[in-house]
Chains A and B, each alone.
Chain A
Amino acid sequence: MRRRRGRKETLVSALILVILVVIGGSVYWKQGRYDSRIFTFSAQPEGDVLMEASALHSHETELASFVPAGMMPFSPPEQFHSENLSDKINGKAEFYLSAGFQDLVSQRFASESLPGQWMEVFLYHMGDHRNAFAVYSGQKRSTAQDLDLAPFAYRTDNALFFAKGPHYVEIVASVADPVMQDMMLAFAQNMIGELVREGSSLQELDLLPAKGLLTESVYLISSDAFGFDALDNVLTARYRIRGKTLTAYLSMRDSSEEARSLAVSFEEFLNFFGAQALPQRPEIPHAAVLQVFETYEVIVQEGPVLYGVHDAPGLEEALELAERMHRRLADLEW
């Protein structure tokens, strides 16, 4: 005897059929618009087309609006994101990507009166001010001349660099020329007032002892500091003590517990690579002092701060530097 279908059964069946039709339609639509670059031989990436066609994403990245008198656009603006950053800067892309890179806008500008003199402006959006400082400090040239343009700004004979808020800016000239230097500075001055201000300071910078500090050596490592993948956001700085160069480091963590845990795991990491524990010193309570072959490590945790000395060539100098850091942090309340 034939069973009569219920209304509910009919509705469910119809719904399933509709879903199947939608899936089938989607597959058909998608396969008709598939990205041939994924499946087929592609002689050249389509980056150029992408770059030229891209639109600037906000007012502040319209670089041409900052051009000083006497300069004119020399190329169209180009925009790059994480997938194609290497099309612009090749092997250096990884450095930016690991520091939180968001996007890059670049454009060339030429002198109206001096043939062959031009400059290229690179405006990197790094997500936040810490990331911007990381790429700024990681590339700071040792022979640079500091500028009061921004808290972090300097220039060399042919280029000008600064970090402000989440932005890192490079202006690179084709010649080392005083006129072009003035142009670069004017461009930067026009630009800097328009850039986002928030988060321009780094609290950790004030925690570095001033004595013996090689100021140009301050560097914020975003990730994998000292080869240890759990150690990120580490501020490092070099010091000279009795003719020896030592690297101090400190990292602000979210809590004392996190800092303590990280200190323990960093010590274990060094032990894995053959570090030998040395007796603790009373000057720096709770410091782990290690010898790694011919070098020395000091690891200290105070409140949410993990700090110490890395890869030091001398034990006494390492301890002296660690003690300076300890004294610098001693007055702070966590």
Chain B
Amino acid sequence: MEKKETLHRRDFLVRSLKVGAAVGVTGFLGWRFHDPEGPPGAQQEEDEVSLPDFSVPGMDRRLAVVRGEDRAATLELALHALGGMSAFVKEGDRVLVKVNAAFASPPILSATTHPALVERLVQLCFKAGAGEVIVTDNPINDPQSCFVLSGIEEAARRAGGRVIYPRSDLFQPTTLPGGRLIRSWPLLYGPFHGVNKLIGVAPVKDHHRSGASMIMKNWYGLLGGRRNVFHQDVHTIITELAMMVKPTLAILDGTTTMMTNGPTGGSLADLKATHTLIAGTDQVSVDAFGATLLDKTVLDLPFIHMAESAGVGTSRYETLNPTHLQVS
């Protein structure tokens, strides 16, 4: 028969003390490691920002399509057709020009906003009375190389504009109400301080993921962080960007269109002289027309339909009775 073991009082106390010590040490370590504030990401709601609506109150949707080779001339004619730059920029306005400076590539590749267009646009803003014109983007490559080698920096400065590079302290988190992807995501917000007008200006390009890079895709350059994760859902992120950014004016440069191997291109053989500049207040219709320069339709570019469904604008650009002009 097995002998029954008995627990002595002394053993019981010793074991209890050991267990108590173990619990105490564990609790102490837990208390020491506890961070009552949590990781910084969890406390950002108070710091979150959102972009205001930069569109001109009460202005109807306008669209102008101008044919010609000289960007400065087509821009001027397009703005004239839309009512003149003074319809958009008033005395003392602070204007932010969002260019596409994504790559450190030369202007001849048309992978970035052409410096001639930037220069004339900034000049016209000042001519309309702008107090300050800021030119910015958060490029894919190192910002200084991108702004310098693309020629945008020199063009902007020559016209009196101020180029702002995307420093870390210029980003603040933003959330698009109802958005699925833009949630507490870093936004290049610093350059927007005091700004009351926003002009997007971008080239027409083929894009391997989204099919096209035009006005709406160009807002991608306002995002920071590891934004390349959004490439997996590129049409949704473009749609959400279009919902988030309500510009005063959108200027799409199709003077030379990158037909293949976008968005970087690399060869003049990727380009086609399409000699068209599109300007308007409805970014969806501007992009819808831009698609035609790529020999594509709205059906080829889901983000256009998605943005239209989200109420950003209309893809049926002809319903806006666009003004068609030719630079003589």
Contacts and interface: CB of A to CB of B under 8 A. Distances in A.
Range for the number of chain A residues in contact with chain B: 35 or more
Contact of B208 (A43, A87, A91, A176): A91
Nearest to A87: B140
B5 A41 contact: no
Contacts, number: 120
Interface centre among B168, B173, B207, B208 (most CB of A within 10 A): B208
B175 interface: no
Interface string B1-13: 0010110000100
A42 B186 contact: yes
B191 to A, nearest CB: 13
A159 interface: yes
Interface string B260-277: 111110111110000000
B266 A42 contact: no
A44 B166 contact: yes
B86 interface: no
B100 to A, nearest CB: 11
A62 B214 CA distance: 36
Range for the number of chain B residues in contact with chain A: 35 or more
Interface string B205-222: 001111001000000000
B225 A1 contact: no
Contacts of B106: 118, 174-175
B264 A89 contact: yes
Interface in A147-202: 156-159, 161, 170, 172, 174-176
Given A89-B264, A90-B102, A91-B262, A39 B41 contact: yes
A324 interface: no
A143 interface: yes
A92 interface: yes
B39 interface: yes
Interface in B84-119: 102-106, 108-109
B41 A170 contact: no
Given A41-B41, A91-B231, A172 B168 contact: no
B186 A92 contact: no
Interface centre among A86, A170, A176 (most CB of B within 10 A): A86
B181 to A, nearest CB: 16
A94 B186 contact: no
Interface in A184-236: none
Contacts of B260: 139, 141
A50 to B, nearest CB: 11
Interface in B1-38: 3, 5-6, 11, 33
Interface in B196-241: 207-210, 213, 224-226, 228, 231, 234
Interface string B163-182: 00010111101000000000
A90 B263 contact: yes
Contacts of B173: 41
B141 A45 contact: no
Interface string B64-101: 00000000000000000000000000000000000000
Contacts of A3: 5
A332 B194 CA distance: 74
A10 interface: no
A90 B261 contact: no
A92 B208 contact: yes
Nearest to A157: B268
B267 A158 contact: yes
Contacts of B268: 156-159, 176
B323 interface: no
Given A41-B173, A91-B234, A92-B263, A86 B225 contact: no
B208 A94 contact: yes
Nearest to B141: A88
B171 A43 contact: yes
B318 interface: no
A93 B169 CA distance: 28
Contact of B226 (A42, A95, A143, A161): A42
A262 interface: no
Interface in B127-168: 138, 140-142, 145, 149, 166, 168
A40 interface: yes
A144 interface: yes
Given A93-B228, A174-B108, A141 B263 contact: no
Contacts of A108: 104
Contact of B225 (A42, A89, A156, A176): A42
A5 interface: no
A115 to B, nearest CB: 13
A41 B44 contact: yes
A77 B141 CA distance: 13
28 contacts: A1-B6, A2-B11, A3-B5, A37-B226, A39-B39, A41-B184, A44-B138, A45-B224, A45-B226, A86-B231, A91-B207, A91-B208, A91-B213, A92-B208, A92-B264, A93-B231, A95-B208, A108-B104, A141-B261, A158-B108, A158-B109, A158-B267, A158-B268, A159-B269, A161-B267, A172-B266, A172-B267, A175-B108
Interface of B: 3, 5-6, 11, 33, 39-41, 44, 102-106, 108-109, 138, 140-142, 145, 149, 166, 168-171, 173, 184, 186, 207-210, 213, 224-226, 228, 231, 234, 260-264, 266-270
Given A43-B224, A92-B263, A139-B261, 16 more contacts: A42-B226, A43-B168, A43-B171, A45-B226, A86-B231, A87-B141, A87-B228, A91-B263, A92-B262, A92-B264, A141-B261, A156-B268, A156-B269, A159-B267, A172-B109, A175-B106
Q: Which 5 A-B pairs have the closest CB atoms?
A: A43-B171, A141-B269, A174-B106, A86-B228, A91-B209
